[in-house]
Amino acid sequence: MPDFNSETLQAFAKLVVTRMGSGEEEAEEVADHLVRANLGGHDSHGVGMLPTYVRLLGDGLLVPNQKLRTVVDFGALLVVDAGRGFGQRMAAEAVRAAIARAKQEGASVLGLRNSAHIGRIGTYGELAASAGMAFIGFVNVADHHPLQAPYACRDAQLGTNPFCATIPGEQDAPVVLDMATTAIAFGKARVAHNKGVPVPEGTLIDGEGRPTTDPTGIVRDQVGALLSFGLHKGSGLAVMCELLGGVLTGGQRADEPQHNGTVNSMLAVLIDVARIGDPSSIRAGVTTATAHIKGSRVAPAFEEILLPGDPERRQADSRRQRGIPIDETSWSEICDAARKVGASDAEIGRALAG
């Protein structure tokens, strides 16, 4: 497969989302989010999600053009229900509202519940950082078979339950920690399955709880589980994402009936750094602190020291020049999804031709 430039891929993604019934603004937001994920090297959360979204739409588990419903609006606290709306837009709108509230109050606490898949969580941390906010987000994943086996569990009991923390930095380079609480994201197992390659050791167990590197079972047959990262530590963070992101917000939980969909709920804390100190000084402090860490000697078997957000920025710079690679299996699935929502081969060709 040839590599795609980001503008071409975004036009194609926008075509598909529009054909799913989304309005212009929503289609643009979703497409931009997906392609940004691809640019940053997170292909698991990029345009390869379109077939899943088309399936969810057909099953009535994703609602285009949905509106956020306010549940709680009290001081610095906002809780909104997304009603299975397109997650990339629902979450972005909710975070923008939380940014505005933090500008007023100095900080805000956001509960977003019952959204369809909200995509790469780091996008919302970056959105907050661009507005001068520190951001901490706990997200749960519900409405489909569990994927994560917590520490000492043989069975999958939780979703991949991502966590994100960001702080603004100098030169528009925030520090962005964005990670699933599993050793790898499920989407990375899907990408590995489509490419026909194994996943890293220590990331997956089969249906009997035995270690495996073959993603076929969990991707195709819904058998087995992803392991938490860092043994009991990652598992503990996954549990807190379930309790804070799911239970506290009133969102759907992993223990509730499932409909083979994807529902995300998130608890996020946003802090206006300007209310704590001089923003320039804080950004400079981030630069000094991170430079101190990178001032260490590089450990054996490593080439350099990278901090959260560095790999994504580097990958984005590279992919803007080289293009975004998509494996043949994934691309075939994406084009089939486009056809399912009524896009003709001629329209697909025109979108890809720019």
Q: What's 70's domain CATH number?
A: 3.30.1370.60
Q: Note the pLDDT of residue 322.
A: 95
- Asked which of 165, 196, 227 is the last residue of a domain, the reply is 227
37 with 172, same domain: the answer is yes
Burial 300-328 (b: 16+ CB within 10 A, else e): eeeeeeebbbbebbebbeebeeeebebbe
- Judge whether 131 and 149 are in contact, CB under 8 Å: no
251 with 134, same domain: the answer is yes
112 with 171, same domain: the answer is yes
Cβ neighbours around 2 below 10 Å, total: 9
204 with 239, same domain: the answer is no
- Judge whether 29 and 36 are in contact, CB under 8 Å: no
221 with 133, same domain: the answer is no
Q: Note the pLDDT of residue 163.
A: 98
Domain count, the chain: 2
16 with 75, same domain: the answer is yes
Beta bridge partners of 188: none
Q: How far is CA 284 from CA 165, 279, 344, in A?
A: 18, 8, 52
- Asked which of 196, 227, 258 is the last residue of a domain, the reply is 227
Position 151 in a domain: yes
174 with 195, same domain: the answer is no
Q: Note the pLDDT of residue 45.
A: 94
DSSP letter (8 states) at residue 182: B
87 with 194, same domain: the answer is no
22 with 121, same domain: the answer is yes
95 with 56, same domain: the answer is yes
Position 354 in a domain: no
18 with 165, same domain: the answer is yes
Angle (CA) 161 86 181, round 5°: 10
Q: Note the pLDDT of residue 294.
A: 97
Q: How far is CA 332 from CA 33, 104, 336, in A?
A: 21, 48, 6
Q: Which of 12, 9, 6 is nearest to 348 (CA)?
A: 12
153 with 37, same domain: the answer is yes
What residue numbers bound the domain in which 189 lies?
183-227
Position 212 in a domain: yes
Position 57 in a domain: yes
Q: Note the pLDDT of residue 171.
A: 85
pLDDT tens per residue, the chain (354 residues)?
679 999 999 999 999 999 999 999 999 999 999 999 999 999 989 999 999 999 999 999 999 999 999 999 999 999 999 999 999 999 999 999 999 999 999 999 999 999 999 999 999 999 999 999 999 999 999 999 999 999 999 999 999 999 999 999 998 899 999 999 999 988 889 889 989 999 999 999 999 999 999 999 999 999 999 999 999 999 999 999 999 999 999 999 999 999 999 999 999 999 999 999 999 999 999 999 999 999 999 999 999 999 999 999 999 999 999 999 999 999 999 999 999 999 998 888 888 876
Q: Note the pLDDT of residue 241.
A: 99
Position 52 in a domain: yes
Position 118 in a domain: yes
Q: What's 223's domain CATH number?
A: 3.30.60.50
